[in-house]
Amino acid sequence: MASIRILGTGGTIASHTAGAGGLVATEHVADLIAALSRRHTVTVQDLMITGSYRLQLSDLRMIAQAARNAVLDPTVDAVVITHGTDTMEETAFLLDLVHASPKPVVFTGAQQPADSPAADGPGNLADAVAAAASPELQGSGVLVSFAGKVRSARGLHRFSTTAADPFAGGTEVAHFIGNNLHVTALPIRPAPLAMPTEEFDSMRVEIIVCAAGTDTALFSHAVHAGADAVILAGTGVGNAGPGFTEVIQDAVRAGCPVVLCTRVPEGPVIPTHGSGGGRDLVQAGAIPAGDLKPPQARILAALLTSQPATPEQLLQALTAASSHNAGTP
């Protein structure tokens, strides 16, 4: 038997249909555990009850601090966090960046609301508690348990709006067969970063997405409006159209870091193309993000620029964070 602290933040798992008002998060985390077996000791704490699309960086920092406090409690063996799927990949990644304990932190949520006849929240929550309680997952960092699969937070991204399992990427560390958890890999984790401070709350890191014919106006506006960093979601392996080499160079000279990602759901940035492609963008000062996708690259950039970090430190952190290799258990 393990002692699990469940932190509630809202999301679809805590939502009911409010007529014409749509889905609204209303349930306390104490309501969500009613269907859990009593195999493990569970304590609960509501941090907030809201849709994750409404979260601000200050909320992410508060969740990270609550998780840190929970794992420091000697009576707690692991932590489960219920969270909306819209921004779960961002909150979970922030926590993984700063997680310094061997105790697992497992995120979960739902695609169907609590009052749906096909509600998936109870099953997902039961799986998350089982994963958090597993001695085999000690030292795995922050994980996401959803639809019978347990993945690392690093590299995770939502690929579907409606699928029962909306996530892809990361490392699949375990899966359920019936009620049995089968561990298949363990993440190789870099050293944890410092916890976010109040400066993190006000960081402005903008994501600019490239497409055919995209000009540099929005990029330049973000820099001139005071962005602390810019994430450029390039095409293909990390390319952009005419003019981006010059505006990246100007941004970097002005002290605004630029991180180069790709808008493609799978695969890394490979800065090989010239004529304004990724090779030229990196030579102009853009920092390649490896296979880290724009939303998670934004969280890492916000965390580091709030501390602050040098471009070299940002590159080192991006290189470490984009590598979610796994070893055998």
Radius of gyration of the chain (CA): 20
179, 46, 109, 175: CA torsion to nearest 10: -30
82 is catalytic: no
- Can you tell me the distance from the alpha carbon of 112 to that of 123, in angstroms, rounded to the nearest whole number? 11
DSSP H/E element including 151: strand 149-152
b/e burial code for range 123-140 (CB count within 10 A of at least 16 → b): bbbbbbbbbbbbeebeeb
The token pair that represents 160 in the structure block: 């579907």
DSSP, residue by residue, 163-178? SSS-EEES-EEEEEET
Considering 85, 108, 245, 305, which one is annotated as catalytic?
85
12 is catalytic: yes
Q: Are strands 172-177 and 180-183 parallel, antiparallel or unpaired?
A: antiparallel
- Can you tell me the distance from the alpha carbon of 227 to that of 246, in angstroms, rounded to the nearest whole number? 17
Tell me what percent of the chain is helix, strand and coil, each rounded to the nearest 5.
35, 25, 45
Considering 12, 108, 214, 262, which one is annotated as catalytic?
12
Q: Write out the catalytic residue numbers.
A: 12, 85
